[in-house]
Structure 1
Amino acid sequence: MTTQIVHEAEYSRQHARFRIPAKLIMGGNPYEIEEWSVSGLSAIKIPQEIGARKHHDGQLLFAFDGFQLIVELEMEVIRYDAESCDFGCRFVNLSKQNLSLIHYVINAFLSGELVNAGDLLHVVGRDSFIKKDLDKKLEENVGGFTRFVQGVKRFVGRLVLFSIFAALLWFIGFTAYNRLFVIESLAAKVQGSIVVLRAPDDGFFHQSLKAGSEEINSGQMLGIVKLVNGGAATIEGPCDCLLHDVHVRDDVFVAKGEPLFTLTDKSASMRIEAQVAFEFVDRLKVGDDAEVRLVNGELLTGKVIEVRAHTRSEYLQSAPLSRNRGQASEYATVVIEPSRPIPAEMLDSVATVKISTLDLDSLY
């Protein structure tokens, strides 16, 4: 099989005309070709009914030793002389394989080589023309609006790929940040300064507050304890407070020291106390930023102001016989001061906390 070396400049000379023996078949009838090229042909003795039409489908027939080669064509009439019956047309929508076959026939004829069926099959099966030249010609035939649409599609495709890449980078960075620099606590609650009023002695309790009362004034009578040994003791509000809880029903016996009311000082600020595993304590420090989500969905920021043991020393000393004495607690308590006041009615409500341990100042 003869190796064909194709020169790029050869494909740019598409209008070189040759008198290579070939026939044109249209409507099943053969016609003599005067000369032809890669881009078109001229034929003689073409009937007027054929030459008058603008477009034709035909075949280019090459007769070789023992076989024939037929190339399917679509033609557009460029000129037709009714007197001489001369016919000129150009090829349109020429396929890649047909273009390769025509080039091969031209090259073989010019070089004097014999054309065989094996060489033709080889030409059909390979891409022996210069792709960039064909792409360039195809692009020249594309309209402005089509080029604009293709440009928009390319831009949108690149934008989608960039968005996916950016989202992936953001996800990786966000996950790494949360693993390395964020400590989360799901066991947090709102704490504040409270006042517990207790029974002064054994007796029967009677409440003086109206149903639905929430605010307590300093000196306001809250209830009476009728003492067992005679007499009565009044329970008065120690401050301008909010009523948080009433622990005893009316006309119920109460023992000395039993809690009756829990009040919250209006002027006291609410804080967040979060339980954090001791394994994270070495990463915490006073001044770390925190994000707090309250049970009502409100989101606020705050600062860590204290990190201490979950169980205070005085509690351990007050229960010397406890089985837990001397055992280390598994959790530490982190006290967070919110950036804005929390309503007193949120006392003892649960919350979730995220503490950021990333210190940007240390990076500079």
Structure 2
Amino acid sequence: MSNTESSHNTSLPPKALPEEFVFEDEHPMLTIPFGAIIDDRRLEGSCISLTKAEVTGLLPKSLNGNEELVTLRFDFDGFSINLFAEARIELSEESDNPKVKLSFTNPTGEHLPPMRYILNSFIAGDMVNMGALLGFTGPTKAKPPAPNAKTSVARRAANGVRGAFFAAMGAGLVFLAASMFIERVAYKYEESPVVFTRAGDIMRATASGQISYINFDAAEGEVAYSISSNSGDLLSTKMPCDCEVLPYSGLFTGGTVLAGDALLKVAEPNAPLVSETKLSSEGAARLIDGDTAEIELADGTVLPAHVQIVETGAQVDLRGYSKVKLTLADAASRSIEPGTIGRLRLRDAAISNIQQAFVKIGNFFPGFAS
């Protein structure tokens, strides 16, 4: 019994596990090309895992055992990936040994997901060692849908509606841009407004004085107005015809006038509509070059007009504007009433020539004109 106990007591104790045994082999070290930057010094990587790394280079002895911010650099063809991790530095005791061990103090930090992807891709063979670079051998485009996959009717209808919407929006934008371009290039608008009245004769004051009598309904041969002149004479003017009377503003009994002031305009009932406005020197030059004069009314109606310059030379004002007389065609004048306002625009001659060309083509090809 004693021998048995003696033999049992003298047996060897079990061998203790090496220190940090679990961490040594839990994550394999991979020989993958990378670099490390520590304290502004570049080191060449030897192998790396998710918890440790080994690099080669020279570092000051003062960094031994310190925790430092390490930049891990993975170079690919055309780009690089930099990961930042905190690691404890372990220098070799031998002064001529350039190997440095790095133990990541926070292996689950923000650098973990991209590093794990790079290491797993290297293990799977999607990334290969190309000298000092990493090369990618995985797929370069998304997988096509399965040939038997069918799009639902509702999805196809939604795609069709979406496509039609964007097509209509694009066409609308193109039309808007084209309209704005034509509006700016093809037309030039004059500043002064246009007010239409009947064409007729102007009755003016024969002397300076005061209006003593006015009869807008006077028939032919009856007195239309009388003026008490400054000399004491009473001057009466008879109505020359049974016409429409258009008085000028400021005409009333008791009002004062100067010799030559316009008082009344008399017009035949069927007289064409005319207007006087101001034309710039640039507009006059465009008319000489062949541009077409048109009147654009407030409702958008466009009517052709004939322009007659009634002031030239010294009568032109300082800004270069001259008075012009606008006359509409008989058919156009019958479509509007006296007092209608609009504005004068000049259409570019090139646009007129293009429109005339389309009209001629349409005469030969009626379907094209439509």
TM-score (norm 2): 0.46
TM-score (norm 1): 0.46
